[in-house]
Amino acid sequence: MKYYIIAGEASGDLHASNLMKALLVEDEHAEFRFWGGDLMSDIGGSTNLVKHYRELAFMGFVEVIMNLRTILNNIKNCKKDISIYKPDVLVLIDYPGFNMRIAEFAKQKKIPVHYYISPQIWAWKENRIKKIKRDVDEMYVILPFEKDSYQNKHNLPVHFVGHPLLDAIADREKTNLVQFRKENNLNEKPIVALLPGSRKQEITKMLSVMLKMVDKFTDHQFVIAGAPSQDLNFYKQFIKNNDVAIVENKTYDLLSISNAALVTSGTATLETALFKVPEVVCYKGNAISYQIGKRLVKNIKYISLVNLILDKESVTELIQDDFNEKRLENELFKILDHKYREEIFDDYYELEQKLGGKGASEITAKLIIKNS
């Protein structure tokens, strides 16, 4: 079959690439055309990449408005490309603002629409359920509470396939700790990993505050996890201390040897927890975007996936004004304390149990083929 796949972020690129691997196992004649990133290109070929997610990442209401013309052109070009390619199936990976518009178009063209990693209608924009029922043929959810939400609240059957991060982490090649430290000029001090996000605007807001911890915890070394979407020089402008290292596109390797982490809210909070690294979750957005979002998001007590899945505050969340130098210092001090760390590890074990076992990519691939 011919598969048209759309992923608009780094995490989507990861999960889509693993799905593509699984589809090739189940369908030896699989052909791909896609919007995504380097990982998807490694599987489907760079010539089949229509647009890289670096060109799609606009976060926040103000930022979307400022880039509206670009976004609308992307949607127009995507529809045109789908019409030319004539896929047997459209597979959408998260990224709902863009993907739901494409789902509507594909449905009108009678192209089967499969959605992997659901829009978070349990958090906000619950009215999207009408469009999902109308335009999406099969929905694959990755969080345990999402299936109940869809089926009990909205009377829409969906497939819970487990979380693909379990696959990504379990299947990765184990890190040679000694070699990794040597290759990246790291010393023997325990590591505090800094994960400031993947978009320029969030990195700019987050990293400067995170780096203020360097001089306060001199018995640790701080290492920035560089996102594949950003150039090394972009990070260097924030660094005033030569002791801070940058590790490019090796976040999992870095987490596997880290003692603690400061993490911008998003998928990385869950990745950090699955690597059993105590963390402080951080978020600070555009003030106007944050105030709008705060009024639109409903009945959600937490912003991190770790706390949402556990339904309790296992990891501290420093949001907007709470994300400041003093609070961050206090919380980092806590997660470096032995007793506090043991409580977090117990929660992380519970989290892993709730997510189920590995195999999300294989399960989803088989269901896509079966239901197309």
Residue with tokens 């489907």: 44
Q: Give the dihedral sign, CA 293/297/301/305.
A: negative
Strand locations in the chain, DSSP E? 2-7, 31-36, 49-52, 89-93, 113-116, 138-141, 159-160, 191-195, 221-226, 245-248, 260-264, 279-283, 316-319
Helix (H, G, I), strand (E, B) or coil at 155: coil
CATH class of 2-162+357-370: alpha beta
Per CATH, is 177-355 categorized as 3.40.50.2000? yes
Residue with tokens 């105030």: 291
pLDDT digits (tens, 9 = 90+) for 192-205: 999 999 888 889 98
* Cβ count near 311 (within 10 Å): 11
d(CA 133, CA 155): 10
The residue count of the chain comes to 372
| DSSP string for residues in 161-199 | ---HHHHHHHTSPPP-HHHHHHHTT--SSPEEEEE--SS
Helix (H, G, I), strand (E, B) or coil at 92: strand
pLDDT digits (tens, 9 = 90+) for 133-153: 999 999 999 998 899 889 999
- In terms of phi and psi (left: phi > 0; alpha: psi -120 to 50; beta: otherwise), the region of 176 is beta
The pLDDT of residue 177 is 79
Check residue 148 and report its DSSP letter. Answer: H
The pLDDT of residue 122 is 76
State mean pLDDT over 291-318.
80
Q: Give the dihedral sign, CA 335/339/344/348.
A: positive
d(CA 74, CA 98): 9
Q: Give the dihedral sign, CA 242/248/251/255.
A: negative
In the chain, residues under CATH classification 3.40.50.2000 are 2-162+357-370, 177-355
d(CA 144, CA 133): 20
d(CA 212, CA 224): 13
- pTM: predicted TM-score of the whole model, two decimal places: 0.79
Per-residue pLDDT band for 1 (boundaries 50, 70, 90) equals very high
Per-residue pLDDT band for 341 (boundaries 50, 70, 90) equals very high
Per-residue pLDDT band for 284 (boundaries 50, 70, 90) equals confident
* 182 touches 250 (CB < 8 A): no
Angle at 95 between CA 89 and CA 251, to 5 degrees: 110
> Is 90 exceeded by the pLDDT of residue 81?
yes
Backbone angles phi, psi at 279, to 5 degrees: -140, 160
Backbone angles phi, psi at 75, to 5 degrees: -65, -45
